[in-house]
C-alpha cells in the first residue's frame, strides 16, 4: 500500500500548540481555547496537546470567510 492509500507508510503529522499558533499567527492561548472548546481536535500527550496537521488544515478551510481565488480576483479589479 502506498502513502496516498493510507497504508503503513502514511503517517499523521502532529503539531505542538506553539507550531499551530505560529502557523495561524495567533497566541498559544487562542489555540488552547480552540482545543478546549472542541473547535480544533487535539490529542493529549501527558500534560500537553498535539494537533494533527489534517485537523488544522480542515479547521482553516472551514473557517475561511473568503475563497483565496475570489479574494485575488476582487483585489485586481479594484
Whole-prediction pTM: 0.71
* Domain annotation covers residue 1: no
* Domain annotation covers residue 51: yes
Three cell numbers written together for 54: 489534517
* Domain annotation covers residue 31: yes
How far apart CA 37 and CA 30 sit, in angstroms, is 10
* Exposed/middle/buried for residue 49 (C-beta within 10 Å: 0-12, 13-18, 19+): buried
Q: Which residue has the cell 476582487?
A: 74
Structural domain count, the chain: 1
* Domain annotation covers residue 45: yes
* Domain annotation covers residue 2: no
- The pLDDT tens digits for 3-27 are 555 565 679 999 999 999 999 999 9
* Domain annotation covers residue 15: yes
DSSP state for residue 49 in the 8-state scheme: E
* Portion of the chain with pLDDT greater than 70, in percent: 73
Q: How confident is the model at residue 72 (pLDDT cuts 50, 70, 90)?
A: low
Mean pLDDT in the chain? 85
Of 74, 76, 67, 60, nearest to 25 by C-alpha is 60
- Domain region containing 55: 10-77
CATH value at residue 40 = 1.10.10
Q: How confident is the model at residue 64 (pLDDT cuts 50, 70, 90)?
A: confident
Amino acid at each position: 500500500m502506498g502513502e496516498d492509500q493510507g497504508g503503513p507508510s502514511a503517517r499523521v503529522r502532529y503539531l505542538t500548540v506553539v507550531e499551530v499558533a505560529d502557523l495561524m499567527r495567533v497566541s498559544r492561548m487562542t489555540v488552547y481555547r480552540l482545543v478546549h472548546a472542541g473547535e480544533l481536535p487535539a490529542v493529549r500527550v501527558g500534560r500537553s496537546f498535539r494537533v494533527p496537521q489534517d485537523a488544522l488544515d480542515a479547521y482553516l478551510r472551514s473557517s475561511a470567510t473568503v475563497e483565496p481565488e475570489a479574494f485575488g480576483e476582487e483585489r485586481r479589479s479594484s
